[in-house]
Amino acid sequence: MKRTWIIDTTKKLDEKVEIKGWVQTRRDHGKLIFIDVRDRSGIIQAVFWAGRDKELFKQASKLRSEYVVKLEGIVQARGEKQINDDLPTGRVELAVTKLEILNTSETPVFEIEKASETSEELRMQYRYLDLRSERMAENIKKRHQTIKLIRDELNQEEFYEIETPYLTKGTPEGAREFIVPARLSKGKYFVLPQSPQQFKQLLMTGGVERYFQIARCFRDEDTRGDRQAEFTQMDLEASFVSKEEIMELNEKLLIKIVETLYPEKHIQEVPFPRITYKEAMEKYGTDRPDIRLDKNDPNLLAFCWIIDFPMFEKTNKEEHHGAYGEWTFTHNPFSAPIDEHLELLRNKERIGDIVASQYDIVLNGYEIGGGSIRNHRADDLIKTLEIIGHSKEAIETNFGHMLKAFRFGAPPHGGIAWGLDRLIMILQNEPSIRDVIAFPKTGDSRDLLMDAPNVVDKRQLKDLGLK
């Protein structure tokens, strides 16, 4: 018999079905045993009668929480007093005719149905149990649906999904990088990418024209509720486009996600308001303003664009963002200035006045994405890197591959990257991105489930040419 998802039992009244899942609870009522069985789609009540099948009833009496079971039975309507309208399957139950225990379970360290009341540390240590909870199952489902919708929509817009390397060359882009020793090149290292930024620009140079990727990115930095050391981006780049076209495409995509997957939510204003960096700082004191008219409404989404960022700022001595001089970049070194300020860049004049072609998308006080039109001419990228203090030697060493590519006819291009984890966190009304990631790290970047990071043994170090 083909398995039936529990949620689909409502469509199979009086039919024989087979379901598989986990026992959530068992309730004994003399000659009746009720169990709640759960799969990822939902929960159904299953019933055993002592007077109908004594052996089956005896077998059911052995069931405990989180036992894995296969049940066959007839879907029947519940009695009037047993109807539970809080449950999608609350008007039916399974009259069991056959039970197979596929696996037993130790007593869980916390009740699955009360996982949200459990400490985060314990939930992360036993993440496989936490993932069984209704809350986490819904978060993971919505994450999948969001990514699928993005893929479908961008395919319609004729974007190619292309994977870029995880092992790459270290270049100073701002954040600290994870270093990966290379066994076949002793004493040398790869780094894990902070973003696919350089590769997607090289794809534009390669004539791909429209690229996207659901990309894994890595930054060896402190984590917070809305950040992780490894995270997922929706990364997008296109050639021969204007800032307006990129922004319109992203608005269309975000609106589609909300309308399709979150119909209970409403967007405060469409098109999304555009606020200059100067206006945002003067009015809200931040470039990530929460412009909701009603901050107590959990279903209100207030998107806005922040534009006209300064391209450079004075160097923060404590955090250089990869710069070594008087100036550093505000976002990344690959953004182009607005057309009106291109000559200021080329002449290194009024550096503090240069406005970047940067655009950030903000949702309910969180930056969920950022992008820009890029420098596509080698000389303009060199000027940017010189302003932030890189020597000619350092420029050639770190960025020579991009400069060489740009000299072979790089087209004008631009793009954006969303923090997918952060976007889904907001849409799901979760306080932390850890609750929309299957296997997250703690606030201090530890993996409690796998007990990582762990110590490298001496044999591995020797193999890598390390002491």
How do the domains of the chain map onto residue ranges? 6-103, 130-309+356-376+411-436
Class of domain 6-103: mainly beta
Of 258, 241, 246, the closest CA to residue 303 belongs to: 258
Q: According to the model, what pLDDT value does residue 223 have?
A: 61
* DSSP for residue 367: E
Q: Where are the beta strands (DSSP E) in 132-195?
A: 160-161, 179-181, 189-191
Q: According to the model, what pLDDT value does residue 393 have?
A: 93
Burial 432-451 (b: 16+ CB within 10 A, else e): bbbbbbeebbbbeebbbeee
Question: Which residues are paired to 191 by β-bridges?
Answer: 168, 179
Classify 461 as helix, strand or coil: helix
Contacts of residue 114, defined as CB under 8 A and 6 or more positions apart, other chains included, come to: none
List, for residues 406-435, the tens digit of each pLDDT value. 999 999 999 999 999 999 999 999 999 999
* DSSP for residue 354: P
Burial 385-407 (b: 16+ CB within 10 A, else e): bbbbbbeeeebeebbeebbebbe
Taking 3-state DSSP, the helix, strand and coil percentages for the chain, each rounded to the nearest 5, stand at: 30, 30, 40
> Directed axis angle between helix 197-205 and helix 392-406, to 10°?
40
Query: Rounded to an integer, what distance in angstroms lies between the CA atom of residue 301 and that of residue 293?
Result: 10
Check for a shared fold between 6-103 and 130-309+356-376+411-436. Answer: no
Query: Rounded to an integer, what distance in angstroms lies between the CA atom of residue 460 and that of residue 467?
Result: 10
Contacts of residue 147, defined as CB under 8 A and 6 or more positions apart, other chains included, come to: 214, 420
* DSSP for residue 177: P
Question: Greatest CA span in the chain, whole angstroms?
Answer: 92
Contacts of residue 259, defined as CB under 8 A and 6 or more positions apart, other chains included, come to: none
Q: According to the model, what pLDDT value does residue 290 have?
A: 98
Architecture of the domain defined by 130-309+356-376+411-436: 2-Layer Sandwich (3.30)
Q: According to the model, what pLDDT value does residue 184 have?
A: 84
Query: pLDDT below 50 — which residues of the chain?
Result: none
* DSSP for residue 80: G
- Tokens, residue 287: 């470039």
End-to-end CA distance of the chain: 59
